[in-house]
Amino acid sequence: MKRPKLKKSSKRMTCHKRYKIQKKVREHYRKLRKEAKKRGHKKPRKDPGIPNSAPFKEALLREAELRKQRLEELKQQQKLDRQKEVEKKRKLEADPNVKPSNEGPVKEEFGQHKAKNKAKLGKQNPKKLYCQELKKVIEISDVVLEVLDARDPLGCRCPQVEEAIIQGGQKKLILVLNKSDLVPRENLESWLNYLEKELPTVVFRASTNLKDRGKMIKVKKKAAPFKSEVCFGKESLWKLLRGFQEIYGKAIRVGVIGFPNVGKSSIINSLKQERTCNVGVSMGLTRNMQIVPLDKQLTVIDSPSLIVSPLNSATVLALRSPASIEVINPVEAASAILSQADARQVVLKFTVPDYKNSLEFFTLLAQRRGLHYKGGIPNVEGAAKLLWSEWTGATLGFYCQPPTSWTPSPHFNQSIVANMKSGFNLEELEKNNAHSIQAIRGPRLANSILFKSLGLTNGIIEENDIPEELPKQKERKEEQEVDEDIESDQECVDGEEAKKKDTGIFTSEEIREVPPEESRPGEQFYNQEPRPFDLSKMTEEEDDAYDFSTDYI
């Protein structure tokens, strides 16, 4: 007896149910489109192609076809090369005694692999990598340039690094007073007389407008204060290094070291007369050693910034450490800087009324620069960041008084000082410095802010001395590194940055949001998003919910 065939269930349904399903599908896709729009995913525009009325349409289409063919051929060639390399590696693994005929590509691959590993290590512990790079620069250099900010020269000197250079053998140490246009002339002369007693010192002002390797940097019509295309002190530094090279008798390597934002990379760019090293407003942009040949006899080596010891005072950490503003509260860091400045001159410089404490000053500054939250509440944190960025940047003119009596540093003695000065034409250097001081147009003494220097800044050279970071600090650092990478890809326009600082306008990233504790009463109610009215619940009560996993068609 034949088994009767089972009837297949019919897919027919009532019109009411079919239309309901179609409506739900439409609503579902509409919801997906809305969410995608919120996230910023837009539908890609279709290429309209070349219009028929365009001249030489056929020629353009032929060129496009040829370009496509070339790209496909190149991809095929790369694929074949990769296959060959894989076959070579397999043969080497199978027969280790057989020597490879072409070792070049394999060596290059191993080199790239090592470089990648180094980069990974650098991301994990950047401070230790900085120490390694700094040691390399000191070891391979014949002459070391310690770059100092002319506004606080003593605070930019690191005794640990200077001691390491002295112990490194027959190495010469030269001090470079950069940003000389931000201090009054009388103050610059007194600092030069003080530093020349110990080491050869060069007065310098780096150029801020240089040609890029392949591009021209756009400059705004209104230039920022104390910004100029002209570089001073370049010739005197060239002559000093050239004279030492002639006495030395062979090619020399010059290492450039210093704390963050003193202008190490800017000095190298000024000597090379093009933008070879990455420069910008943010601290700690240089992360690896960079070799820049000036000519056949002179090679300059850029180095990462010196690491500031956490045992220093809060003011020193705020001025010299690039991550201090992220680790410490910005208001605390800016208050520490403000405590060392002359209050009367600060009031005149920032054109704010007299203040009793730092918090009152930041409130007045926020009102003056138009930094407000919702409802007109002054952005105290934004004002603190503004002061910090101006103090560490290259626009604000302030100065420190040199010590009344000269006392040699503990790691220097008469024999070391004589050895450091030997091989240099100091008379010619003195004349060139005097000429640079006369040529540089600095601010007046009355327009500058007097700042109390805290003396030498202690740094870290040994990797073991670096304290372990907390997990929160690591997360902040990773975020900061990502932001710096994005910033370094863009062009740094000095006039635009200075204009931002003068007007007090900041981006959304620079100004933090108000924490919930500081928010005004009733603000949470206003910030609440309206609840969407859900129709699906009503439909569920009436009919069964639509299941997208089931195919009803």
Q: Which residues sit opposite 255 in a β-bridge? A: 144, 301
What does 160-186 look like in DSSP terms, one character per residue?
A: HHHHHHHHTSS-EEEEEEE-GGGS-HH
* Residue 553 in domain: no
Give the span between the Cα atoms of 121 and 418, in whole angstroms: 41
436-486 pLDDT, tens digit each = 888 888 888 888 889 888 888 888 877 666 666 544 455 555 555 545 554
Distance (Å) of CA 269 to CA 168, 220, 296, 393, 398: 27, 21, 17, 18, 25
Query: What are the residues whose beta carbons fall under 8 Å from the beta carbon of 105, sequence distance 6 or more?
Result: 85
> Residue 296 class from Cβ within 10 Å (0-12 exposed, 13-18 middle, 19+ buried)?
exposed
Task: Answer positive or negative: Cα dihedral of 412, 414, 419, 421.
Answer: positive
Q: Could you tell me the pLDDT band of residue 283, with boundaries at 50, 70 and 90?
A: low
Provide mean pLDDT across the span 100-123.
46
The answer, yes or no, to whether residue 216 has pLDDT greater than 70, is no
Q: Average per-residue pLDDT in the chain?
A: 75
In this structure, the strands spanning 290-293 and 298-302 are: antiparallel
Specify whether the CB–CB gap between 316 and 308 falls below 8 A: yes
Planar angle of CA 468, 469, 474, nearest 5 degrees: 145
Q: What is the pLDDT of residue 26?
A: 96
One-letter amino acid of 269: N
Give the span between the Cα atoms of 323 and 264, in whole angstroms: 18
220, two tokens:
């705004």
* Residue 135 in domain: yes
Q: Could you tell me the pLDDT band of residue 546, with boundaries at 50, 70 and 90?
A: low
More confident of the two residues 523 and 202: 202
* Residue 494 in domain: no
Q: Quote the DSSP letter at residue 395.
A: S
318-334 pLDDT, tens digit each = 888 765 555 668 888 88
Q: How many domains does the chain contain in total?
A: 1
* Residue 82 in domain: no
Q: Could you tell me the pLDDT band of residue 97, with boundaries at 50, 70 and 90?
A: low
356-383 pLDDT, tens digit each = 898 999 999 999 888 888 888 999 988 9
* Residue 431 in domain: yes
* Residue 227 in domain: yes
Nearest to 397 by CA among 265, 281, 258, 225: 225
Q: What is the pLDDT of residue 228?
A: 46
* Residue 257 in domain: yes
Q: Which residues sit opposite 275 in a β-bridge? A: 212
Q: Could you tell me the pLDDT band of residue 512, with boundaries at 50, 70 and 90?
A: very low
Q: What is the pLDDT of residue 30?
A: 94
The answer, yes or no, to whether residue 20 has pLDDT greater than 70, is yes
Provide mean pLDDT across the span 42-47.
72
| Structural domain of 286 | 118-309+407-463
What CATH number is associated with residue 183? 3.40.50.300
